[in-house]
Amino acid sequence: MTALLEVEGLTKRFGGLVAVKDVSFSVRSGEIVGLIGPNGSGKSTVMKLVMGIEKPNTGSVRIEGEEVAGWPTHRIARAGVGLVFQHSRPLHRQTVLENIMLALLPDSLLRLRAGREVVERARAIARRVGLANVLDRFPATLPFADLRRMELARAVARDPKVVLVDEPFAGLTAAEVADFSALIRTFREAGHAVLLVDHNVKGVAALVDRIFAMYLGERIAEGSAEEVMRDETVRRVYLGGEIAHASRPARATTDEAPLLEVSDVSVFYGKAQALENVSLRIRKGEFVSVVGLNGAGKTTLFNAISGLVPYQGSIAFAARRLAGRSAATIARQGLVQCPESRELFGDMTVRENLELGGQHQSPGSMAERRDWLYSLFPILREREGQAARTLSGGEQQMLAIARALMMRPQLLILDEPTLGLAPVILELLSRALETLRNTTDITVLLGEQNVTFALPHADRVYVLEHARIVWEGAPDRLAEEAGAGLL
């Protein structure tokens, strides 16, 4: 039987960089193939080449035997390919139902005549992906997992034979990953060919029939999930070891005033309450994790602390109340947030983004910090002159973290830093945090739903649930005392 998707000798250069190098693989009907590899190894580029969003320099892409390499995206879509992007891109002025309908009717003329039939199909797709209850809502009001569902619905709206799914699990909880996996299995059952990229290694291994592993644009391994995960090269360049619970001697704690004191903070978005009387205190030098599911209020809490959203209650940093200060002033005082949304300057290079972070330092001190950050994330040095918007998902995340560290914060807030990072990079990040803890008096506030990463890096943990702090304590007590839903 011919494969639904056949890729042969695919190569893509960006200037001097060969992002994809002579890659060949195929995906048959009813098969899910996992595509794994470290950040920047070329996975998303392969998907974009198949979809026609980027044009290959050389190589062939066949859909059911038909050569489509070099075709425009809309023709490739019509030939039966759908792509679920790494980042959700909904139309914000349209409801969920309308977003799905527009995906059903890509040709603008037809949009004017969206008949009953189209509405019914859109509803059916929404039901299939679990969006039936939010059809009339606007994307901005949806929880993260629902946004990903909508993205998936849009990609499969026209029933593509070949489904490309780029990081469906990033930012989802274990339960949501299970949901999504079930959904992706239905494509297999329907006889589609699925290509799946994700850094959630367990999630991928549980779902796929085969894995294709890349590094620096090239194939490094191929086979069953078990074989590939055991492969020497894959272990070295991608998987790394386990994140260790570093033995972390408690820092001498004193009764001195807390560095950060959040007292009875509430935040409303219109009528919706995003934070309800939240209080927490962090002493100088402490590492504190706030864990909670998507939508629990972590980002709102961090944005309130950073001066980005108005709140009731009081927030004090180094014994000074922050209310009324601008986000820029607060950052200059040493309270720096690395936001979940990254907020990089897309048209500026990696180096320029970093230099912006270091602009208040002497050139010597800045260069020293930059070197340390480049040794921490070597790929950033290699991509030094590249525009931030062209970086891979994980490279952007590394740059956002590096830029925050460039500012030599006293208090560093990391909002979901693990999002989109390969296992080896998590290990690097983990070690970097330990180094900072042991060599500086930095204080860290870490927001995560990835408890495996949050716990080893915490002296103390707060659990945020539906806008409220529901538990506080030592990380080793979380498992038995707080909700098992988090683990």
- For ligand ATP, the binding residues (CB under 6 A) are 14, 17, 19, 37, 39-45, 383, 386, 390-395
The residues in 234-293 that bind Mg ion, with binding defined as CB under 5 A, are none
Size of the chain in residues: 487
Q: Which stretch binds Mg ion (CB under 5 A): 37-45, 336-344, 371-379, 436-444?
A: 37-45
Among residues 41 and 306, whose Cβ is nearest to ligand ATP?
A: 41
The strands making up 468-473's β-sheet, listed across from edge to edge, are 335-338, 411-415, 443-448, 287-291, 460-465, 468-473
Q: Which of Mg ion, ligand ATP, none has residue 17 at its interface (CB below 5 to 8 Å by kind)?
A: ligand ATP
| Region for residue 123 given its phi and psi (left: phi exceeds 0; alpha: psi -120 to 50; beta: otherwise) | alpha
Nearest approach in angstroms of CB 12 to ligand ATP is 8
Nearest approach in angstroms of CB 57 to Mg ion is 19
Tokens 């849009």 appear where? 154
Q: Which of Mg ion, ligand ATP, none has residue 82 at its interface (CB below 5 to 8 Å by kind)?
A: none
Among residues 297 and 393, whose Cβ is nearest to ligand ATP?
A: 393
Out of 6, 20, 40, 44, the residue judged to bind Mg ion by CB under 5 A: 44
Q: Which of Mg ion, ligand ATP, none has residue 410 at its interface (CB below 5 to 8 Å by kind)?
A: none
Nearest approach in angstroms of CB 420 to Mg ion is 7
Site membership for Mg ion, residue 38 (CB under 5 A):
no
Helix, strand, or coil here: 329?
helix
Q: Say how far apart CA 387 and CA 348 lie, in whole Å.
A: 5
Site membership for Mg ion, residue 397 (CB under 5 A):
no
Out of 393, 417, 423, 475, the residue judged to bind Mg ion by CB under 5 A: 393
Q: What's the DSSP call for residue 438?
A: H
Q: Which of ligand ATP, Mg ion, none has residue 395 at its interface (CB below 5 to 8 Å by kind)?
A: ligand ATP
Q: Which amino acid is at 187?
A: F
Among residues 14 and 345, whose Cβ is nearest to ligand ATP?
A: 14
Tell me which residue of 180, 84, 85, 99 sits closest to 135, measured CA to CA.
99
Tell me which residue of 72, 60, 57 sits closest to 18, measured CA to CA.
57
Q: Which residue's C-beta sits nearest to Mg ion?
A: 44
Tell me which residue of 34, 30, 32, 52 sits closest to 43, measured CA to CA.
34
Residues sharing a CB contact under 8 Å with residue 130, sequence separation 6 or more, in sequence order: 146, 149, 179, 183
Nearest approach in angstroms of CB 81 to ligand ATP is 17
Tokens 């139902």 appear where? 97
Among residues 333 and 349, whose Cβ is nearest to ligand ATP?
A: 349
Among residues 14 and 269, whose Cβ is nearest to ligand ATP?
A: 14
Q: Which two tokens stand for residue 374?
A: 């480049």
Nearest approach in angstroms of CB 247 to ligand ATP is 31
**DSSP character string of 375-403:** HHSHHHHHTTTSBGGGS-HHHHHHHHHHH
Site membership for Mg ion, residue 56 (CB under 5 A):
no
Nearest approach in angstroms of CB 395 to Mg ion is 9
Tokens 């603008």 appear where? 108
Chain-centroid distance, C-alpha 477? 28
Among residues 157 and 234, whose Cβ is nearest to ligand ATP?
A: 234
Among residues 409 and 420, whose Cβ is nearest to Mg ion?
A: 420
CA distances from 443 to 285, 340, 433, 455 (A): 4, 19, 10, 16
Among residues 39 and 306, whose Cβ is nearest to ligand ATP?
A: 39
The pair phi, psi for residue 179, each rounded to 5°, is -60, -50
Nearest approach in angstroms of CB 185 to Mg ion is 23
Tokens 């934070």 appear where? 275
Nearest approach in angstroms of CB 45 to Mg ion is 8
Nearest approach in angstroms of CB 72 to ligand ATP is 18
Residues at the contact surface with Mg ion, assessed by CB under 5 A: 44, 392-393
